[in-house]
Structure formats: C-alpha cells, structure tokens
Structure 1
Amino acid sequence: MGDAGSALWLSEAFAAMAEALHGQPSRDQVLQEITELAATTADGAQYAGITLLRRGKPLESPAYTHPLVQAVDLAQAEAGEGPCLQESGDADGAVVRIEDMSGEGRWPRFAREAARLGVGSMLSCRLTQERDVSGRLNLLSGEPGAFGVETAKTVAVLATHAAIALSAATAIENLSNAVASRQVIGEATGILMERHRVPSREAFGMLVRASQSLNVKLREIALHVVSTGQNPAELGPADFAGAARS
C-alpha cells in the first residue's frame, strides 16, 4: 500500500473509531471498544488490552481481547517490573516497544515469564497519565518483531483519540453518578422529614451524622433509608458490610 493509500486507510480507520467510541455509554464499554479497535487496527497485533495503575494499588486489567493479556499484566505485577510499571522508551515512556521478548533486557523477570506465556513482541502506549492513575494500551503478538516504527506511530495516534473518548465517558459517568446520588439523598431526606416531623436541614444532618459515625458513604446511608425507612441513628456496621466511605 502506498503512502497516499495508507494515509487514507488510517483516516478512515480513525473516523470509524471515533464514531464507535462516541456511541459507548459508559467508561467500561469505551475501554473494551478501544481494545477491540486496537487489536483489529494495528499491524501485527493479535491481542490488545488496557492496564491501569492506581497509586497504592495493584495493576488492573479492565479490558482485554484475550486472557493472555490479563496473564501478561499479572506477570508484570508478580515480577514488580515491566512497561506498565516503569516509564521507559520513546518520548519518556509514551511508547515502549519490546521487539523480542526472549531477549528483552530492561525487565528480565517479566520478559522471561511473558515469553513462557507465548508472547514474542509487545507494544505499550500511554493512554492516560493523571496524578493518581496511569493507563496504557498494550498490544501483543506471538511473533518477535511484529511491531515496527510505523505501527508505533499509528497506535500513539489511536491512543490519543481513545484518551479523549475515555475522558469524556468518565466525565459523563461521574456526572450521572453525582446526579443519581443527589436524587437518592433527596429522597431519603424527604422520608426522614415526613416520618420524624423535622425540617430538611435536620433530616439531612441525620444522614450526615450516620455517615460520619459509621464511616460509610452518604449515598449508601441514603439508599438504606429509602429502601427500609429506618432511622439513620439506629443503623450499625452490619447494615453496610463491604460499604466504604470516600
């Protein structure tokens, strides 16, 4: 394919990707769509996945096209090293290429396990970099040398488009959650006002005090009141097994 034909193909692929990502209603669905598109768009890719690293927490694999991708993430976590744990490579770690996993020297423990799993080469591209969380888009192939320089450039552009779509989906999801929380808190406040004949400020204070004393999210307290009508002052830890306050 000539340069003009390649450019046209990429333009069409990215346009289709933008349309597909725009149509996804949630963050998790956007993440899964990104992996599917990457696996079918990038030359040499057999599998794709997204890895998230949150401060103080283990690696997460929220989306992948094959269990092998998740196994590779686990190999990085167990080895304590790998492209998703250590910023390295082109443009300060924006794009990392492992051309031959069996001869990879930057992360030898991880590379040995990945090669044992059947990974010949890997391309890892930064998807997002925030204060408390970083994400990478990873492509895997069973063959060494599957990802050339041009593929790395293509995936970097794809990751830029995907990061924008992910940011938008996250913002929408956060807004939807905030609206839902506000609604349920309002319902719980109304129930307490009616049952205890108290003004709205006092009813809301009842919810807040229960949240603080139990170390449980205000929304969880409100949901319990809406579903049971129970006085927040009578609630105990057993009513919120697994719930945590943020």
Structure 2
Amino acid sequence: MSSHPHLRDRTFRRRELKVENVSAAASGQPSKQNTGTAAGQDALAVRLGDLARSLQNEVDTDAILAGMVQAAIELIPGVEEGSISVVVGRKEVGSRAASSDLPKRIDAIQMEVNEGPCLDAVYEQKTVRVADMSTEKRWPRFAERAYAAGAGSMLSFQLYVEGGNLGALNLYAKEAGAFTDESEHVGLLVAAHAAVAFAEAQKTEQLQEALTTRDLIGQAKGILMERHKITDQQAFAILTHASQNSNLKLRDVAIRLVTSGEIPSQTQH
C-alpha cells in the first residue's frame, strides 16, 4: 500500500464512508448479538445484501478490504478488531485493512514465527477459532506473543483460493471466550460475501496493474521510437533484450527508461 499522504487520506475517507454505510444498514435493526432469532436472521440477510451491493460499487481495492473488515466487526458477535491476510503465489504474506494497531501486531507476529490461526485458515482449514490465547497449544510461539500483545481470542476464515492467491479474514477480541458457535455461523456468512468482494478486489488490482504496465511499456517504446527513429516493433525488441540482459522484468525496464531516460544493460545482482 502506498505511503503517499494523499492516498492515505483518500483511503481513510473511504474507510469512514464504509463505516457509515454499514452503520446505516444496521440502523433500526437488532444488534449483532440477536442474530439467533428469526428477525435477527432476516436483518442479517438484509445487512449482508447491503454490504455486497456497497462493495460491488467500490473501485478502490483498499476501501473494499476495509469495508469487509468493518462489516465483520459490525455483524459478527464478539469481534472487536479485524484484518485481512493476503498471500500471493503461496509465498508472500501481507496484512491489509487492519482496523487498529492490535491486528497489525498480531499479524506481524504470525508472519515472523510462520505459524498461527490465519496461516492455517489460508492454507489448510476454512475456519480456525482460538478460544483462549493464554492456553493455546497449537501454535505455542505465536500464542504466547499474541497474548502478550493483547489478543485474548481469535477467529480466522479462509476467504479465497485461486491459483496461488489466498486470503483470510482475521478477527480479534481482547477477552478470552469472546467467540461462540454463533460467531462462527455469522462469520461464515460474512466471509462468503467477503470472499466475493476479495476476488473482485484481486481481479481489479491485477487489471489495474496490467493496464499500468501496458501504459509504461507504451511510454518507453515511444521514447525509443522518438530517440532512435525506429518502429514500434524495433523499440519493443530493444526493451525485451534489455529485460533479458539485465535480469529485470519488462515493466521494471520500462519504468527505468521512463523515469531516468536510461536502459539497464548489465545483469543485476
């Protein structure tokens, strides 16, 4: 995620709008603790429908993920904080849309010790619940540090599996025993809607990256065509040769040319 202040301000405002949307959907409806009743289930269905429509109309990936986390906090019994873990190529694990510093700290611990509920939810199980972090034995290194950081309970749901791209919705509470069977039931419903939004966010992100790459390569070819009075095909051949020779992606070669006017010519180490 970009650290540019204007982008941070925009993302934060979009997150505020998502909070307002979810709160508006909940207005006049039973609290999330009442979803066990017929009326509560009907209200939950309405609120999930509102969530799905709201996220479908959103084009900013970070806002989509933030909206998913905020909806989970609003709708699932026991939840105080949340975040989303994203795994690309089954290798790179990142934490996004954290609602506060607590999930950021817990997610960082999981990545550091390479064990924990969200990693199990991503790779192995669809749902993982930690009733009491202070007595948790499945991930001893993680549990001890997570409890010290302030997590008493945790609930993780697998969101999406397509190729090498994975995700998990991570939910936290400061007290032990915060999550019940109802929490899991409602959480599965929220996660099902969130998974669709997550998939769309991934596709949108990939499309945006592809379009950006195409534009960068187009700019780079234009520079070479103007500089050397050559054809489009010849300019592209120069870029691909530079990519192979420098061991850099074609996109990175184009960025170098567009930003500095130079083409890398030596193998990068």
Give me the TM-score of the superposition, normalised by structure 2: 0.76
Identify unmatched segments of 5+ residues in structure 2: 1-33
| Counterpart in the other structure of 1:60 | 94
Identify unmatched segments of 5+ residues in structure 1: none
Tell me which structure has the larger Cα radius of gyration.
1
Paired residue secondary structure (2:137): coil
| Counterpart in the other structure of 1:161 | 193
Decide whether the 8 Å contact of 1:35 with 1:65 is kept in 2.
yes
Relative to structure 1, is the Cα distance of residues 41 and 236 closer, same or farther in structure 2, using a 3 angstrom cutoff? same
1:148 aligns with 2:176: no
| Counterpart in the other structure of 1:111 | 143
1:40 aligns with 2:74: yes
1:218 aligns with 2:250: yes
Matched ranges for 1:45-194 at <5 A: 45-54=79-88, 57=91, 59-86=93-120, 93-194=125-226
For residues 116 and 255 of structure 2, what CA distance do their matches in structure 1 show?
42
For residues 171 and 112 of structure 1, what CA distance do their matches in structure 2 show?
37
For residues 224 and 78 of structure 1, what CA distance do their matches in structure 2 show?
33
Relative to structure 1, is the Cα distance of residues 153 and 191 closer, same or farther in structure 2, using a 3 angstrom cutoff? same
Post-superposition offset of 1:236: 4.7
Relative to structure 1, is the Cα distance of residues 25 and 56 closer, same or farther in structure 2, using a 3 angstrom cutoff? closer
Q: CA RMSD in A?
A: 2.6
Relative to structure 1, is the Cα distance of residues 144 and 23 closer, same or farther in structure 2, using a 3 angstrom cutoff? same
Decide whether the 8 Å contact of 1:59 with 1:73 is kept in 2.
no
Decide whether the 8 Å contact of 2:109 with 2:146 is kept in 1.
yes
Decide whether the 8 Å contact of 1:26 with 1:170 is kept in 2.
no
For residues 229 and 152 of structure 2, what CA distance do their matches in structure 1 show?
69
For residues 216 and 110 of structure 2, what CA distance do their matches in structure 1 show?
41
Post-superposition offset of 1:19: 2.5
Aligned length: 234
For residues 150 and 204 of structure 1, what CA distance do their matches in structure 2 show?
57
Paired residue secondary structure (1:50): strand
Give me the TM-score of the superposition, normalised by structure 1: 0.83
